[in-house]
Amino acid sequence: MLRQVGGRRRSATGIDVVRADERQDLMGRGGRGGAGESGQVATGLIICTVLGLLTIMFMVMLPEGSAVNQKSGTQNAADAAALAGADGVIKSIVTDLATLPLSAFAPKTFSCGLGETDAARLAASNNAQLTSYCYDWRADQAVVRVQSIRALSGGQHSQAAALAKTGVPWGECAFSSLPKPTPEPTHTPKPTTSGSPSSKPTSSPTSSAPTGPIHLVCGAITIDYTLGPGGRLVLTDPGALSNLLKARLVG
């Protein structure tokens, strides 16, 4: 026998009997609660997965970024060293070309190591060390190779190279109208007969020095000299030569 108690019916044994519509309502609410909890768990898993992937990417990309930055810094050091080497060459050239012998253009002071000290100093100031250097005066090229002082995580040192010029193709230089050296006068006495007075010695003819400038032609560039004391060539305008020369990177 069932009795109505509140909104529910109670059996004779005292057990509440839930109606079918109430049972469906309770089941629906329980199902919705379970689905909400499952959605929260799935969202948490997605967030953890994304964070893990970002961490892995950061750990992988950090060394790569460091290597790229060091490579860029090493290249900057090579460029600075090459320019410094070319500047050192220019300083030496202005001094060395102030006077030249009266002969074909072949400067003996133009060596492979010209400007190397300046290049090494600039490389060191940019956290790199000079591994090779040579100035080829005929091609007007200061070739520099450097490597980073600090090693990467794998123990490697980044390397870089650079090339700079002074702006004058020295290998093409030649004097356009080089005068011949003036010979010293020589005395050649004429043979005399006995009893006759000896004749005065005569000197051999000499060439006169040119009064105009002597041109050192280097491609499209002309450097003027004059004939100075002792038969040496003297640079007419050292300041003009200094302004003409300028260190510049190539490539």
Query: How far is it, in rounded angstroms, from Cα 223 to Cα 93?
Result: 13
State the pTM of this model: 0.63
Within a domain: 24: no
Q: How far is CA 192 from CA 188, 200, 203, in A?
A: 12, 11, 17
Give kind and range of the element (H or E) at residue 76.
Answer: helix 20-96
Within a domain: 231: no
Asked if residue 144 lies in contact with residue 161, where contact means CB atoms within 8 angstroms, the answer is yes
Instruction: Look at residue 158 and tell me whether its pLDDT is greater than 60.
Output: yes
Place 63 in a pLDDT band, splitting at 50, 70 and 90.
low
If one compares 15 and 180, the residue with the highest pLDDT of the two is: 180
What are the tens digits of pLDDT across the range 185-200? Answer: 555 555 555 555 555 5
Instruction: Look at residue 68 and tell me whether its pLDDT is greater than 80.
Output: no
For residue 143, give every residue at least 6 positions away whose Cβ sits within 8 Å of its Cβ, in sequence order, or none. Answer: 82, 132, 133, 134, 135, 136, 161, 162, 163
Q: What pLDDT is attached to residue 32? A: 55
Within a domain: 237: no
Phi, psi of 236 (to 5 degrees): -70, -45
Radius of gyration of the chain (CA): 46
Instruction: Look at residue 136 and tell me whether its pLDDT is greater than 80.
Output: yes
Within a domain: 115: yes
Asked if residue 97 lies in contact with residue 137, where contact means CB atoms within 8 angstroms, the answer is no
Asked if residue 86 lies in contact with residue 79, where contact means CB atoms within 8 angstroms, the answer is no
Least reliable range by pLDDT among 65-79, 133-147, 233-247: 65-79
Query: How far is it, in rounded angstroms, from Cα 192 to Cα 73?
Result: 86
Within a domain: 121: yes
If one compares 16 and 169, the residue with the highest pLDDT of the two is: 169
Q: Mean of the pLDDT values across residues 96-106?
A: 90
Q: What pLDDT is attached to residue 70? A: 64
Q: Mean of the pLDDT values across residues 173-184?
A: 76
Q: What pLDDT is attached to residue 52? A: 75
Asked if residue 129 lies in contact with residue 107, where contact means CB atoms within 8 angstroms, the answer is no
Within a domain: 148: yes
Instruction: Look at residue 148 and tell me whether its pLDDT is greater than 50.
Output: yes
Place 206 in a pLDDT band, splitting at 50, 70 and 90.
very low
For residue 204, give every residue at least 6 positions away whose Cβ sits within 8 Å of its Cβ, in sequence order, or none. Answer: 183, 185, 186, 188
CB atoms near residue 10 (< 10 Å): 15
- Domain holding 155, by residue range, is 68-98+108-166
Q: What percent of the chain has pLDDT over 70?
A: 65
Cα dihedral 138, 139, 140, 146, rounded to 10, equals: -120
Q: Which two structure tokens, joined as six digits, stand for 249? A: 């990177």
What are the tens digits of pLDDT across the range 224-238? Answer: 999 998 889 999 999
Residue carrying the six token digits 């040192």: 157
Q: What pLDDT is attached to residue 204? A: 46
If one compares 144 and 206, the residue with the highest pLDDT of the two is: 144
For all residues of the chain together, what is the average pLDDT? 79
Residues in the chain: 251
**Total domains present in the chain:** 1
If one compares 41 and 111, the residue with the highest pLDDT of the two is: 111
If one compares 69 and 239, the residue with the highest pLDDT of the two is: 239
CB atoms near residue 92 (< 10 Å): 18
Within a domain: 91: yes
Within a domain: 83: yes
